[in-house]
């Protein structure tokens, strides 16, 4: 097999290949044309708009792709990157369609992007670009709480989402659901607690569920559970950082970390303290030369020996040229498309478990769904029944004390009395979502002889759920 990375398919072609592999398994189950409808992007909006920056004008290139309208609204992030192009945005939109279906979030997939290097603009300039992009979406009816709901992605965050919602509200002052036009907003602007960490926490929940299966772990020469497993993480942005933090809090050992400046490998035997590593990076501008760590090239992180490798940066980092050098036993895809189709087959043939992106990084859209529901209901989670549950628990404690003749100490009573906060409810919902979705995928993987890996199983699950939606609408017999 060729080891030329450039010979591999584009990102969008790669997603299509994964889809076609699963579709071939299901082709005799559905009427003609249905699988083609699921595969194709429904709407592609490519735009150019001028922005005056200083004493000159700059023409900005941007996109919004709505891949599927089988459920509304459409849902997907907006990224700011100089590498944004139609192929990439279309690929990400299609992944969102399948991702939402897998985790039972009732959205069609979408994605947006602005082709800029955000580091070259000041805050005021970025705000102007963001507001103009939003205006273009409003003019073409490509945004709205019942139409298309963007979210943060690479290069964007709560700040940009706040600008978007403010612009939308300006154009739609009488829409009482206007704040549902975008998710990932700051909590103070009708956001939801737990959204910032959601993708990383979802990566943890999904991986934890995967490593809980004794038979699967025995095949990899591993024990069950997260505790004690060596974890390597590529990329320490929002997703990578929170993944690292949560894995470490649950007993994993962070043995390797990387950012664009390079890779560090733990030599202390204790694993990295992610908070201290980030402090070192803030002070020095780099993770390199961290105490008791070996510094290596940034790509070396992908070839370190470990139990779990988490690529959490960009697409296509594991490809035909390096797939045979991967020594991890499990690859947990936190990024979108970090493994190319050719590399994926090599990894599977080499006995490596790949937990696919189309499932594993769905934590972000899951909690975005919770935020959207909160915005439409106009009430925070827990407000209606927190005290009701609290009173019920107190009554139960009183009954137990009366029946046993023993008094429960004040600290235990206070713990029981507190009840779940909004973030507790959000995390619980995310945990349930990731566990249930993995079990759907695993069942298809283990019960269908034609399905050889988790990625194909995930796409089969997505196809089945989307097809059911279309047929339920009466579009196909």
- Catalytic residue positions, numbered: 111
* Burial environment of residue 49 by CB neighbours within 10 A (0 to 12, 13 to 18, 19 or more): middle
Are 294 and 318 in contact by the 8 Å Cβ rule? The answer is no
Segment holding 445, helix H or strand E: helix 422-447
Q: Which two structure tokens, joined as six digits, stand for 5?
A: 């990375």
DSSP class of 318: B
- What is the chain's alpha carbon radius of gyration, rounded to the nearest angstrom? 23
Tokens 């004794």, residue located? 214
Residues 96/102/108/109 CA torsion (nearest 10 deg):
10
Residue 473, CA distances (Å) to 70, 75, 83, 161, 406 in order: 9, 20, 38, 33, 59
DSSP class of 253: E
In sequence order, what are the residues at sequence separation of 6 or more whose Cβ sits closer than 8 angstroms to the Cβ of residue 411? none
Residue 448 to residue 51: CA distance in whole angstroms: 54
Q: Which two structure tokens, joined as six digits, stand for 432?
A: 């349930």
Q: Which two structure tokens, joined as six digits, stand for 462?
A: 């997505």
- The sign one gets for the Cα dihedral 187, 191, 197, 202 is positive
Phi then psi for residue 317, to 5 deg, are -80, -25
Give the Cβ contact number of residue 221 at 10 Å: 9
Q: Is 217 helix (H, G, I), strand (E, B) or coil?
A: helix
Give the Cβ contact number of residue 262 at 10 Å: 18
């Amino acid at each position: 097999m060729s080891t030329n990375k450039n010979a591999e398919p584009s990102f969008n072609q790669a997603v299509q290949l994964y889809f076609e592999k699963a579709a071939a398994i299901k082709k005799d189950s559905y009427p003609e044309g249905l699988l083609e409808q699921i595969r194709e992007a429904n709407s592609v909006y490519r735009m150019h708009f001028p922005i005056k920056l200083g004493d000159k004008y700059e023409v900005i290139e941007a996109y919004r792709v709505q891949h599927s309208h089988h459920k509304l609204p459409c849902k997907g992030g907006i990224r700011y990157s100089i590498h944004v192009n139609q192929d990439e945005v279309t690929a990400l939109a299609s992944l969102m369609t399948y991702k939402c279906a897998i985790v039972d979030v009732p959205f069609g997939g979408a994605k947006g992007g602005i082709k800029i290097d955000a580091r070259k603009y000041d805050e005021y300039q970025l705000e102007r670009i963001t507001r103009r992009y939003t205006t273009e979406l409003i003019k073409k009816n490509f945004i709205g709480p019942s139409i298309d709901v963007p979210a943060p992605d690479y290069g964007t965050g709560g700040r940009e989402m706040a600008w978007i919602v403010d612009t939308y509200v300006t154009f739609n002052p009488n829409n009482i659901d206007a704040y549902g036009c975008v998710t990932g907003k700051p909590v103070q602007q009708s956001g939801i607690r737990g959204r910032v960490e959601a993708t990383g926490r979802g990566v943890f929940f999904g991986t934890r569920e995967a490593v809980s299966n004794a038979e699967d772990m025995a095949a990899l020469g591993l024990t069950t559970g997260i505790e004690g497993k060596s974890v390597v993480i590529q990329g320490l942005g929002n997703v990578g950082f929170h993944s690292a933090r949560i894995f470490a809090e649950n007993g994993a050992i962070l043995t390797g970390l990387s950012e664009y400046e390079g890779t560090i490998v733990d030599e202390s035997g204790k694993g990295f303290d992610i908070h201290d590593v980030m402090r070192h990076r803030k002070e020095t501008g780099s993770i390199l030369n961290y105490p008791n760590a070996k510094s290596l090239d940034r790509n070396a992180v992908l070839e370190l020996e470990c139990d779990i490798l988490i690529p959490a940066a960009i697409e296509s980092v594991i490809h035909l040229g390096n797939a045979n050098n991967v020594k991890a036993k499990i690859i947990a895809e936190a990024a979108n498309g970090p493994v190319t189709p050719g590399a994926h087959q090599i990894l599977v043939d080499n006995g490596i478990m790949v937990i696919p992106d189309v499932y594993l990084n769905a934590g972000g859209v899951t909690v975005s769904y919770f935020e959207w529901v909160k915005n439409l209901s106009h009430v925070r989670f827990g407000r209606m029944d927190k005290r009701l549950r609290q009173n019920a628990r107190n009554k139960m404690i009183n009954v137990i004390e009366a029946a046993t003749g023993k008094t429960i100490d004040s600290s235990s009573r206070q713990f029981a009395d507190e009840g779940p906060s909004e973030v507790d409810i959000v995390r619980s919902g995310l945990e349930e979502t990731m566990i249930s979705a993995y079990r759907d995928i695993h069942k298809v993987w283990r019960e269908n002889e034609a399905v050889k890996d988790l990625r194909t199983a995930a796409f089969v699950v997505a196809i089945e759920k989307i097809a059911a939606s279309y047929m339920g609408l009466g579009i196909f017999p």
